[in-house]
Amino acid sequence: MKKLLFSALIASSLFACKSETKAPFDLANAKKEIESANQAISEFMSKGDSAGMASAYSKDGSVMLNNMPSIKGSGPLTSAWGGFIRAGVNKLKLTTIEVWGDENFITEEGLFEIKTKEDAPIDKGKYLVLWKKEDGKWKLHRDISNSDLPAATK
């Protein structure tokens, strides 16, 4: 009888461990989460919320824009986005083209358009973002973009 109970206990333990296996990573769902995060970023921009923009980045996230050094950390990101907002940037459209990665990091390729509140175009181009899963949410970890417009000449 003891052997039978012991065998049943072992079998149920093995079954319980097997049933607790992690679900496979769902890249399509992660893409939807990233597109939703991009929409929130666009809304922060339209509201002039530089702190909200900075909150979209991971704790050690950075943005790498044309003609300037990388900007890293919450304070510098808030300040930089605030500068763009004060300069007239008001509308940011982000379009995801493709994502690839795993449950920890996802790379997103996309297109951006930047406009003033009067809909005057400021810039358009492409970007790559490395997203990092942090506290259960996808956060921008490395954000790099470049313009499709010709370089300004003096």
Range of the domain at 90: 27-145
Q: What is the mean pLDDT of residues 122-144?
A: 97
Surface-to-core class of residue 130, CB atoms within 10 Å of its CB (0-12 exposed, 13-18 middle, 19+ buried):
middle
Asked whether residue 2 carries a pLDDT value surpassing 60, the answer given is no
For residue 13, the model assigns a pLDDT of 55
Contact 147, 124 (CB under 8 A): yes
Whether 2 is in a domain gets the answer no
pLDDT in tens, 35-74: 999 999 999 999 999 999 999 999 999 999 988 999 999 9
Size (the chain), residues: 154
What's the domain count of the chain? 1
Whether 3 is in a domain gets the answer no
Whether 154 is in a domain gets the answer no
Of the pLDDT bands very low, low, confident and very high (cuts 50, 70, 90), residue 118 is very high
- Mean pLDDT across the chain, nearest whole number? 90
- Could you tell me how far CA 40 lies from the centroid of its own chain? 10
Whether 98 is in a domain gets the answer yes
Whether 10 is in a domain gets the answer no
CATH number at residue 34: 3.10.450.50
Whether 99 is in a domain gets the answer yes
For residue 41, the model assigns a pLDDT of 98
Of the pLDDT bands very low, low, confident and very high (cuts 50, 70, 90), residue 79 is very high
Whether 137 is in a domain gets the answer yes
